[in-house]
Amino acid sequence: NVVQVTVADGNNIIEYARATSKASGKVIYKNNVLGVRPSPTVAAFSSRGPSTFSPGVLKPDILAPGLNIIAAWPPLTILGSGPFNIRSGTSMSTPHVSGIAALVKSSHPDWSAAAIKSAILTTADITDSAGGPILDEQHQRATAYAMGAGHANPIKAIDPGLVYDLSITEYAGYICALLGDQGLATIARDLTLSCKMLPKIPEAQLNYPSITVPLRTRPFTVNRTVTNVGPINSVYTLKMEVPKSLTVRVYPETLVFSKVGQKTTFSITVSRHRNVGSKALQGSLSWVSKKHVVRSPIVASPLL
């Protein structure tokens, strides 16, 4: 028999076993337990950021259920038999996010992949079922490098209010700035493509739903463009949550829309105070209307 415990409980068991020469334990079965709190939490095996290859784009993007998932299972495989199995890992969370993307696409068939991704990220939950912050496997507050924008919420993702959209040209310009001609040709699988005619877009300036900037005392400015996919006449006001060691200025602080599909650009300028260490700092920026909250994590990284 195997007993699975959390990392935090496992550490307590190890400390107990080391502290006495007569350690003992007992396993008591109490049937299935529902409504376990805190939930959700970030699993120990969940990949952490930052991306070493492109640290200016926050990774991971999002959390989704991936621990001990029971699902239909092909009966004739080397990993098990029977119509159902329980598995954990990215292979379990990915189908959840894919399903949410399909749900959003079915409601908005004309949306781009970038718009769908934005909808999922900006509507993600950042609190657990008890109303507290999402925790990691050590029951410490999960950082943006552990949970990205938060835990995916399929119902909210259908109606995000605003989206951060991206064109193929913008993606290609980002790849050109990151990898050059060879990288673009490899990723696009077209050796005739060239970066000569494309704008080179630095990773921090990519119109991404999350915002990652250098951690430095000199102010650094990035721009973002949002598209109204909510009510025709909408007004969004700025709400920010940032640590005292960061100064963040956003202009304008109010976004006004008069039609669906209308785009508006705003700027974010970030700087750190002096005598701040080299550890990444994080906060968030939200655009709030009567009906919607469009949230983006902000990370000031020493890797940029």
Three-state SS sequence of 119-138: HHHHCCECECCCCCECECCC
Whole-structure pTM value: 0.87
pLDDT tens across 234-257, in order? 999 999 999 999 999 999 999 999
pLDDT at 274: 84
CA nearest to 224, candidates 253, 267, 272 = 267
Alpha-carbon separation of residue 261 from 156, 197, 232 (angstroms) = 19, 27, 9
CA nearest to 148, candidates 233, 59, 224 = 59
Q: What is the DSSP string of the chain?
A: ------HHHHHHHHHHHHH-TT------------S-SS-SB--TTS-----SS-TTS-S---B---SSEEEE--SSBTTB-SSEEEE-SHHHHHHHHHHHHHHHHHH-TT--HHHHHHHHHHT-B-B-TTSSB-B-TTSSBPPHHHHTT-B--HHHHT--SEE----HHHHHHHHHHHHHHHHHHHHHT-TT--STTS----GGGS--SSEEEE--SS-EEEEEEEEE-S-SSEEEEEEEE--TTEEEEEE-SEEEESSTT-EEEEEEEEEEPTT--SS-EEEEEEEE-SS-EEEEEEEEETT-
Mean of the pLDDT values across residues 282-290?
97
What CA–CA distance (Å, rounded) separates 195 from 106?
34
What CA–CA distance (Å, rounded) separates 303 from 201?
18
Terminal-residue alpha carbon distance, the chain: 48
pLDDT tens across 255-264, in order? 999 999 999 9
Top-confidence residue, 87 or 101: 101
Find out whether 198 and 172 touch, Cβ atoms under 8 Å: yes
Band (pLDDT 50/70/90 cuts) for residue 277 is confident
CA nearest to 229, candidates 118, 151, 147 = 118
Has residue 229 got a pLDDT over 70? yes
pLDDT at 82: 67
pLDDT at 111: 97
Residue ranges covered by each domain of the chain: 167-206
Average pLDDT, whole number, for the chain? Answer: 92
Band (pLDDT 50/70/90 cuts) for residue 79 is low
pLDDT at 35: 78
pLDDT tens across 155-205, in order? 999 999 999 999 999 999 999 999 999 999 999 888 888 899 898 999 999
pLDDT tens across 3-31, in order? 777 788 889 999 999 998 888 988 888 77
Band (pLDDT 50/70/90 cuts) for residue 127 is very high
* Torsion angles phi and psi, residue 275, rounded to 5: 65, 30
Mean of the pLDDT values across residues 26-51?
86
Has residue 2 got a pLDDT over 90? no
Mean of the pLDDT values across residues 133-146?
94
